[in-house]
Amino acid sequence: MSTRPTFTAPLLLLLTLSAGAQTPSPLAQVQSLRSSSDLAVESLHLTLLRYRAGEAIALQVVDGQSTAALARGAYDDGLVRYRVAPAGMQDRTGNL
């Protein structure tokens, strides 16, 4: 057995804390995804109004529908990750 002190645990703690400080919180990510989804739906609504007024083509409507669907899917995925994350942390730390 070595008598040299190991710095693995403090180093891992420092790396974890610094990584956490650089990334947005999970709640902020979900809120951002929700905002993006809401904006995509509003954009689609405006595109539909423009289409009905003859100022937009069908391709723009389809593009708006696709964008809204992708944004909603990203929001749903983010919400699932947000809700599953505490269980993953409990599993990793052994606190069930």
Q: Determine the 3-state secondary structure of 79 from DSSP.
A: helix
At residue 86, the pLDDT reads: 83
User: Is 90 exceeded by the pLDDT of residue 20?
Assistant: no
How many of the other CB atoms lie within 10 Å of CB of 68? 20
For helices 58-93 and 26-52, give the axis angle rounded to 10 degrees. Answer: 170
User: Is 70 exceeded by the pLDDT of residue 15?
Assistant: no
At residue 88, the pLDDT reads: 80
Domain ranges within the chain, ordered by starting residue? 26-93
User: Is 70 exceeded by the pLDDT of residue 2?
Assistant: no
Q: Which two tokens stand for residue 40?
A: 């995509």
The pLDDT of 78-82, averaged and rounded, is 93
Specify the pTM. Answer: 0.69
At residue 59, the pLDDT reads: 98
At residue 91, the pLDDT reads: 77
